[in-house]
């Protein structure tokens, strides 16, 4: 068994921008622009970055919930990029997604039993009694009770609804969970409960997570490694510890400087980025961060820095580290 459960190579997702009465293509939004990373079995890879940097598009296009424009995705030893729809449907049993907003992603007209048994029906698993049994089991697994099966989404709190979203993702015993900001919509007091649940589930069910968040403090504790995205690209990727102790990319440093630290002596200098986030429809040349970078040089304006390993798996795309 290969060590990597997921290998993403040069993934791109471009959305055409159309205009005029004839709907001619007048440009493209580079939502994901050449992203590569791997996720080991049992690992949690965090993906962070500001809103609009391409995190959700990365998560969805690697599962082919939306079709990538280019790139290759190898999941559990199979190149899934070229699978036919029926083969892809079967493969998706093993790769599930948990969404940010559990209310929007749960059908309000269906009770929990119906919501949770749907994946089983779609994949033709079990008879009615077995499905009911599995629903009860999964409710217990996520910290709810079997009597909740007859209730509707609006009868739950936000945290409980996200537990239902997680239960639904687990119904088919997947290997990989793409968790797309699973706690961002929840009260801070509830966030850690759901994060703890996800960590327990990972241990008990040998799950692998791609954990998406816009907040560095949320991914820190749950992730083994973290990738930082900016304008459709990963600019830095390393272990959580390295990222927080020794961030290399100027963008990562700026993000971290905004995270409050519990230790007042370890006060970091707050780095305020110049300018606004550019549009992915018109990204800056060279290094896309150059318009906001305190260390910008001429090279940064014209040459795209390679995303390379600068030592023991610490990847960074920045000319400062091109020794």
Residue in this structure with the two tokens 């990597």, named with its chain if needed: 4
Report the site for ligand ADP in 34-73 (rule: CB under 6 A).
49, 51-57
Do the Cβ atoms of 43 and 10 come closer than 8 Å? no
Q: What is the smallest separation between the CB atom of 99 and ligand ADP, expressed in angstroms?
A: 11
Q: What is the smallest separation between the CB atom of 52 and Mg ion, expressed in angstroms?
A: 8
**Helix, coil or strand: residue 108:** coil
- Residue 280 makes contact with ligand ADP by CB under 6 A: yes
Task: Select the binding partner of residue 194 from Mg ion, ligand ADP, none (C-beta < 5 to 8 A, by kind).
Answer: none
Q: What is the smallest separation between the CB atom of 27 and ligand ADP, expressed in angstroms?
A: 11
Characterize 116-136 residue by residue with b for buried, 16 or more Cβ atoms within 10 angstroms of its Cβ, and e for exposed. Answer: bbebbeeeebeeeeebbebbb
Residues in the chain: 323
Dmax over Cα atoms in the chain, in whole Å?
67
Q: How far apart are CA 318 and CA 203, in angstroms?
A: 35
Choose between 120 and 281: whose C-beta lies nearer to Mg ion.
281
Do the Cβ atoms of 233 and 31 come closer than 8 Å? no
Cα distances (Å, whole numbers) of residue 191 to 182, 221, 243, 319: 9, 12, 22, 37
Task: Select the binding partner of residue 15 from Mg ion, ligand ADP, none (C-beta < 5 to 8 A, by kind).
Answer: ligand ADP
Choose between 100 and 242: whose C-beta lies nearer to ligand ADP.
100
Choose between 83 and 277: whose C-beta lies nearer to ligand ADP.
277
Contacting ligand ADP (CB under 6 A), which of 31, 195, 255, 293? Answer: 31
Q: What is the smallest separation between the CB atom of 232 and ligand ADP, expressed in angstroms?
A: 7
Residue in this structure with the two tokens 């795309």, named with its chain if needed: 317
Q: Locate 46 and state its tokens.
A: 């965090």
Q: How far apart are CA 200 and CA 185, in angstroms?
A: 21
Give which of 236, 199, 237, 215 is closest to 318, Cα–Cα: 236
Choose between 29 and 171: whose C-beta lies nearer to ligand ADP.
29
Do the Cβ atoms of 92 and 63 come closer than 8 Å? yes
Choose between 184 and 199: whose C-beta lies nearer to ligand ADP.
184
- Residue 160 makes contact with ligand ADP by CB under 6 A: no
Choose between 30 and 220: whose C-beta lies nearer to ligand ADP.
30
Residue in this structure with the two tokens 């892809």, named with its chain if needed: 88
Give how many residues touch ligand ADP by CB under 6 A: 12
| Closest residue to Mg ion using C-beta atoms | 56
- Residue 191 makes contact with ligand ADP by CB under 6 A: no
Q: What is the smallest separation between the CB atom of 110 and Mg ion, expressed in angstroms?
A: 25
Choose between 51 and 79: whose C-beta lies nearer to ligand ADP.
51
Do the Cβ atoms of 100 and 182 come closer than 8 Å? yes
Q: Which residues bind ligand ADP (CB under 6 A)?
A: 15, 29, 31, 49, 51-57, 280
């Amino acid at each position: 068994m290969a060590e990597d459960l997921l290998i993403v190579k040069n993934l791109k997702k471009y959305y055409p921008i159309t205009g005029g009465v004839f709907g001619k293509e007048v440009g493209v939004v580079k939502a994901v622009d050449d992203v590569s990373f791997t996720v080991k079995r049992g690992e949690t890879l965090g993906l962070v970055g500001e809103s609009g940097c391409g995190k959700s598009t990365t998560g969805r296009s690697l599962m082919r919930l939306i079709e990538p424009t280019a790139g290759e995705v190898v999941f559990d030893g199979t190149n899934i990029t070229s699978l036919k729809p029926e083969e892809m449907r079967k493969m998706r049993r093993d790769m599930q997604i948990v969404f940010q907003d559990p209310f929007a992603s749960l059908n309000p007209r269906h009770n929990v039993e119906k919501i949770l048994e749907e994946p089983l029906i779609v994949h033709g698993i079990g008879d009615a009694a077995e499905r009911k049994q599995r629903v009860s089991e999964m409710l217990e697994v996520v910290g709810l009770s079997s009597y909740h099966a007859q209730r509707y989404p609006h009868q739950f709190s936000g945290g409980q609804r996200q537990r239902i979203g997680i239960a639904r993702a687990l119904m088919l015993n997947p290997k990989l969970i793409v968790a797309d900001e699973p706690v961002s919509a929840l009260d801070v007091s509830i966030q850690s409960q759901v994060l703890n649940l996800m960590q327990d589930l990972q241990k008990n069910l040998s799950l692998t997570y791609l954990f998406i968040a816009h907040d560095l403090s949320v991914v820190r504790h749950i992730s083994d490694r973290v990738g930082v995205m900016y304008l459709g690209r990963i600019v830095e990727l390393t272990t959580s510890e390295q990222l927080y102790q020794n961030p290399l990319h100027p963008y990562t440093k700026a993000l971290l400087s905004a995270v409050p630290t519990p230790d007042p002596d370890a006060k970091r200098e707050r780095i305020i980025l110049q300018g606004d986030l550019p549009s992915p429809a018109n990204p800056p040349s060279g290094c896309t961060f150059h318009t906001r970078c305190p260390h910008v040089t001429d090279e940064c304006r014209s040459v795209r820095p390679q995303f390379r390993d600068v030592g023991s798996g610490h990847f960074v795309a920045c000319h400062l580290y091109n020794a």
